[in-house]
Structure 1
């Protein structure tokens, strides 16, 4: 039977592992791409934008609206990849923890 002290110790361990995971997520980088590589966004798995690259051919005034759309698409692509990386890391970090079925962190 599990005592309150054991539960509190497990909770402390879970908290420490979550803090490590959060720090690690900010070091994992993903790249979002749109327009066949004309716009690239590099973000951390926590969603922090690290870098934006726009091909010079898109910087002409007549390409403004298309460039804006491509930047938004690249950001969204990077965000989706950041979410996937974060979920994969959290699954890995919590794999050995005795969490109840369906419990999400």
Structure 2
């Protein structure tokens, strides 16, 4: 059974690794697509939107509603990919920690 000091040191190490993992999430880039790639959203795994690309063929005044829907769909696609990338990063980070079964990070 680890001592209280050992548990505190493990918690501090886990907290430092978590902070590093959070910082790394802003460096992982994903791209959300909609409309067969006509609308692209580039984002970080942390959810920060880096850019939007809209194919010129969609820039027709009568297609405003469709364009808005495609942008929303691309953002949602990017968000889903960002969440998946973040989950992978967190899984990799916690795989080496001696945590009890069922214990989840962040605290």
TM-score calculated relative to the size of structure 1: 0.97
Give unmatched runs, 5+ long, in structure 1: none
Work out the CA distance in 2 between the residues paired with 1:104 and 1:70: 35
In the other structure, the counterpart of 1:92 is 92
- Aligned pairs, how many? 105
Match status 1:58 vs 2:58: yes
In the other structure, the counterpart of 1:4 is 4
CA offsets 1:41-78 (integer angstroms, 9 cap, x no match): 00000000011001111111111000000000000000
TM-score calculated relative to the size of structure 2: 0.96
Runs of 4 or more above 6 Å deviation: none
CA offsets 1:2-42 (integer angstroms, 9 cap, x no match): 11100000000000000110010000000000000100000
In the other structure, the counterpart of 1:22 is 22
Secondary structure in structure 1 of the residue aligned to 2:70: helix
Secondary structure in structure 1 of the residue aligned to 2:97: coil
